[in-house]
Amino acid sequence: MRMLIVSSKQDLQSETGCEQEIARAVRQYIAEHKDIATKFIYYDIPSKYSPKRVQKNARSIRDFISKIEEKWGTIDFLLLLGGDRIVPFFRLENPCDDGDMKVLSDNPYASRDEDFLIPERACARIPDNKDAGFIIAQLKKKHKVYRRSFGISTKTWKEASKAVYRFVGNTRSLKTSPPVEHTEFKKSWLRNKDYLYFNLHGAKESEYWYGQDGNQYPRALGPDAVDRAAGFVAAECCYGAYIVRKSDQTALALKFLAEKDIQGFSGSTTIAYGPVKPPSGEADLLTRYLFQYLKQGLTTGESFRNAKQDFARKMLRQQGFLDEDDQKTLLQFVLYGDPTVKFTAGSKKMRMSA
């Protein structure tokens, strides 16, 4: 098994001010995990894979990764080190007629051909939050097992959310907003958990996630409620994983990742779709498959990749094609964190064995 870690030396330095400390942490991370062959390569430094520095655009970086794979061998895990200003998201055409001009996506990095919808590699990203310590902390995280989960849904989507949450928790414990609002949200709900599930509304410019009951959209969760949170976060919220020009005070994705016991985050960079009630579709179905694979003991990266593959297969069997909502779902969901971590309640955190 092989993993490639890709970043930019110049932009790591300009964004965090401590490129050398991050590089040292990555080397230590590789040394401590000998069960998988790992390379750490800067795309903007000439190497045997590229005699010239690669320009900072998503297509050029993807081609660079393909060249490395041709010479080194199959890349099973790909870790993008840094946010959009270091390793840019792809800006893809939006297949849906909604408010998003483009879909920010890491899917092309995970794909070996020009069909970006279905990934072949297990791919994830560690954002930088303009802080070297933030990146280093992701590489040093340890996991405790609690055998407990937390979930919250808009009241409107309660039944649809139950169909997803049942794979990791007791549906009777699933909270809804309303009645839960951010002023009553208890920080303790997020502590000592293995899985955290959120099926709420999100907005591109807001740091809050919202509930819904009819025409009421109360604030359900804000960054101030995330304190000593633990577990793997699966968020179906619109813009739940949108981090461009954001910080851990303005994006819940970054706030969760800043917590030492959060092991990974799955979310959408744009407007997401899902049914009001079962059967599961779009974001609900993708998240359900993700939970199932995580519970089976696969790594977060494998679980995320397999969930997208299974989602596509089911839609093709059911409809004979992938409609616009399906295509956008596959493109918009991204994974943050170490893709080689196994996250299973009842077992210790471990790396993928060779």
pLDDT, position 169: 97
Domains annotated for the chain, with CATH where assigned, are 2-139 (3.40.50.10390), 149-347 (3.40.50.1460)
Tokens of 70: 């041709």
- Cβ neighbours of residue 232 closer than 8 Å, sequence gap 6 or more: 194, 195, 196, 262, 263, 264, 265, 266, 294, 300, 343
pLDDT, position 301: 97
What does the H/E/C string look like for 245-301?
Answer: CCCCCCCHHHHHHCCCEEEEEEEECCCCCCCCCCCCCHHHHHHHHHHHHHHHCCEHH
pLDDT, position 75: 98
CB count in 10 Å sphere of residue 56? 16
**To which H or E segment does residue 351 belong?**
strand 350-351
CA-based max dimension of the chain: 59
**To which H or E segment does residue 61 belong?**
helix 58-72
d(CA 257, CA 267): 12
Question: Nearest 5°: phi and psi at 183?
Answer: -70, -20
- Cβ neighbours of residue 235 closer than 8 Å, sequence gap 6 or more: 198, 200, 202, 209, 241, 252, 253, 265, 266, 267, 268
Contact 109, 64 (CB under 8 A): no
Contact 253, 134 (CB under 8 A): no
pLDDT, position 193: 96
Tokens of 148: 């407990």
Contact 72, 39 (CB under 8 A): yes
pLDDT, position 350: 37
Q: Angle at which helices 282-296 and 158-165 pack, to 10 degrees?
A: 20
Tokens of 281: 């579709």
- Cα torsion at 58, 59, 63, 69 (round to 10°)? 50
**To which H or E segment does residue 126 belong?**
strand 122-126
If the chain, 354 residues long, is cut into consecutive pieces of 10 residues, what is the mean pLDDT of each piece?
Answer: 97 98 98 93 93 94 96 97 98 97 98 94 98 97 88 98 98 98 97 97 98 97 97 98 98 98 97 96 98 95 98 97 98 96 55 32
Rounded to two decimals, the pTM is 0.95
d(CA 219, CA 71): 51
How far is residue 283 CA from its own chain's centroid? 13
Contact 197, 151 (CB under 8 A): yes
